[in-house]
Amino acid sequence: MIIKPRVRGFMCVTTHPVGCEANVKQQIDYVKTGGSIANGPKNVLILGASTGYGLASRIVSAFGAGAKTLGVFFEREGTADKPGTPGWYNSAAFHKFAEAEGLYAKSINGDAFSDEIKEKTINAIKQDMGKVDLVIYSLAAPRRTHPKTGVTHNSTLKPIGKDLVQNGIDTDKEVIKSFTLPAATQEEIDNTVAVMGGEDWQMWIDALAEADVLAEGAKTTAFTYLGEKVTWDIYWHGTIGAAKKDLDKRVIDIRAKLAALGGDARVSVLKAVVTQASAAIPVMPLYLALLFKVMKEQGTHEGCIEQVNGLFRDSLYGASPILDDEGRLRADLKELQPQVQDKVNALWQQVNNDNINALTDFAGYKHEFMKLFGFEVDGVDYEADVNPEAPINNLA
Residue 50 marked ligand-binding:
yes
- Pairing relation of β-strands 175-181 and 164-170? antiparallel
Residue 107 marked ligand-binding:
no
CB atoms within 10 A of CB 206: 14
Residue 283 marked ligand-binding:
no
Residue 112 marked ligand-binding:
yes
The HSE-up count of residue 306 (CA atoms within 13 Å, CB side) is 9
Q: Are 15 and 374 in contact (CB under 8 A)?
A: yes
Residue 244 marked ligand-binding:
yes
Residue 273 marked ligand-binding:
yes
Residue 158 marked ligand-binding:
no
CB atoms within 10 A of CB 239: 26
What backbone phi and psi angles, to 5 degrees, belong to 87? -60, -35
Q: Using CA atoms, how far apart are residues 323 and 106, in angstroms rounded to an integer?
A: 32
Task: Give catalytic residue positions.
Answer: 235
The DSSP code for 217 is E
Phi-psi region of 108 (alpha: psi -120 to 50; beta: other; left: phi over 0): beta
Closest CA to 108 of 139, 134, 82, 148: 139
Residue 224 marked ligand-binding:
no
Residue 53 marked ligand-binding:
yes
CB atoms within 10 A of CB 359: 17
The DSSP code for 102 is T
Residue 256 marked ligand-binding:
no
Residue 4 marked ligand-binding:
no
Q: Using CA atoms, how far apart are residues 71 and 50, in angstroms rounded to an integer?
A: 8
Residue 265 marked ligand-binding:
no
CB atoms within 10 A of CB 326: 11
Residue 141 marked ligand-binding:
no
Residue 292 marked ligand-binding:
no
- Pairing relation of β-strands 143-145 and 43-47? unpaired
Q: Using CA atoms, how far apart are residues 58 and 363, in angstroms rounded to an integer?
A: 28
Residue 287 marked ligand-binding:
no
Residue 51 marked ligand-binding:
yes
Residues that constitute the known binding site for NAD(+): 48-53, 74-75, 111-112, 139-140, 244, 273-275
Residues that constitute the known binding site: 48-53, 74-75, 111-112, 139-140, 225, 244, 273-275
Residues that constitute the known binding site for substrate: 225
